[in-house]
Amino acid sequence: MTTMGGDEGWRSVSVRERLARVRHDLPPVLQTAGSAGIAYLISSEVLGHERPIFAALTAVIILGATRGQHPRRAIEMVFGVALGLVIAEFLVRGIGHGAWQLVLVGFLAMVAAIFLGGGPLVVTQAGISAILVVILDPPSGLVPTRFFDALVGGGVALIISQVLFPFNPRTLVANAAEPVFRQLVVTLNAIADALEAGDWEGVNQALLRARDLDGDVRLFNDALSEGHRIARLAPPRRRARGQLEQYAVAATQVDLAVRNTRVLARAARGLVRLGGPAPKPVVDAVRNLAAAVGALQGKFADPDEAHETRELAIEAMKNAASIIEDPDALVLGSVVGQVRLTASDLLRATGMSLADAQQTLDKAIGLE
């Protein structure tokens, strides 16, 4: 859901913008409120529990905290709530209510969650639910109804968030892909700037940027796996599978492009070490690669953008190859080779086969 930071920021937002935010967040708000009502209804009417507060509370907590996340996270939170309730209900029957009881019950519930291997979310939810039991009216009867209420609320939240109204996998993957493309563009431009200026410090910083890309790539691949899971299990999201496959094809090649960019940065460092700026065609070639990456990101919104990516990647190869007869060809050749590899990766990311990409680049530099 969207948020607004600070009083000044709130006052500067127009009524139209506020209404737009309400419209944007209305579906998840309705789903959360509806899940509370459904869970309450099931516990009260089907199970016959009187005032099943924890059914509604658990549904709201689980749905709000785990939207767009792996169901394992939601299951862990349900386990945390249920564990806290069980421990608290049995302890409160013996020691009653009060401040010291609240401290003791909350402490024991969280320690039990840690002992059973629960993560931070499980431990926190165990403590919260246990404390609520101490604060609210004491449980009646021998059956731990609140425990079953929590299971009902968690089950309703899981069905709503994972089956009926799952997070849009395309949005999930696009959000994860954006930092990869953005940082790859920045890194390639940084390499080009360093080559153009003969900047030793700049090329080292570019190499550090290239190495930092691995974390973004891992998150991108994780999002792809989660997106495929959502599209496979949730009927409303199965139509997204086609676009997810496009991302999957690109992800493999972008991963290779990131690795080759790292090698390119190392080669650029060797070239800068010779002193002076790099030849202009080499600088232009690296800038072409950066532009190709930017165009590749647009391909997923508009498939026609693949044409621009291909043109830019081919132009990068032409520029790099144009200086191959330079006296410093031995060092320049390594840079040219990495430009070719990265250009090939980008061509394949648009859907080209390896053979077609190689043939296209060979043709671009007159080898065919």
Q: Is the pLDDT of residue 100 over 60?
A: yes
User: Do 73 and 213 fall into the same domain?
Assistant: no
Query: Of 337, 352, 348, 339, which Cα lies nearest the Cα of 188?
Result: 339
State the pLDDT at residue 248: 77
User: Do 211 and 352 fall into the same domain?
Assistant: yes
User: Do 200 and 318 fall into the same domain?
Assistant: yes
Q: Which of 164, 196, 216 is the C-terminal boundary of a domain?
A: 164
Q: Is the pLDDT of residue 28 over 60?
A: yes
Measured CA to CA in angstroms, residue 304 lies from 295, 296, 309 at distances of: 10, 10, 10
CATH number (domain holding residue 291)? 1.20.58.220
Domain carrying residue 142: 13-164
Residues 67, 51 contacting (CB under 8 angstroms): no
Interatomic CA distance for residues 224 and 232, integer angstroms: 12
State the pLDDT at residue 8: 53
Q: Is the pLDDT of residue 203 over 80?
A: yes
Q: Which residue has the higher pLDDT, 192 or 24?
A: 192
Residues 338, 317 contacting (CB under 8 angstroms): no
User: Do 136 and 213 fall into the same domain?
Assistant: no
User: Do 76 and 38 fall into the same domain?
Assistant: yes
State the pLDDT at residue 202: 92
Tokens representing 238 are: 């199965």
Q: Which of 146, 164, 182 is the C-terminal boundary of a domain?
A: 164
Interatomic CA distance for residues 64 and 329, integer angstroms: 59
Q: How confident is the model at residue 26 (pLDDT cuts 50, 70, 90)?
A: confident
Interatomic CA distance for residues 224 and 216, integer angstroms: 12
State the pLDDT at residue 42: 92
Range picked from 135-139, 143-147, 252-256 for highest mean pLDDT:
252-256
Q: Is the pLDDT of residue 10 over 60?
A: no
Q: Is the pLDDT of residue 187 over 90?
A: yes
Interatomic CA distance for residues 270 and 266, integer angstroms: 6
State the pLDDT at residue 191: 94
Determine how many CB atoms are found less than 10 A away from the CB of residue 353: 10
Share of the chain above pLDDT 90, in %: 11
Interatomic CA distance for residues 191 and 261, integer angstroms: 9
Q: Is the pLDDT of residue 2 over 60?
A: no
State the pLDDT at residue 75: 77
Tokens representing 308 are: 């621009």
Q: Which of 164, 181, 197 is the C-terminal boundary of a domain?
A: 164
Summarised one tens digit per residue, pLDDT across range 32-73 is 888 889 999 999 888 888 888 888 888 887 777 666 666 677
Ordered alpha helix ranges (H), the chain: 7-12, 15-41, 53-66, 71-95, 99-115, 120-135, 145-159, 169-197, 200-233, 241-273, 280-299, 305-321, 329-349, 354-364
* Domains identified in the chain, total number: 2
Q: Is the pLDDT of residue 190 over 90?
A: yes
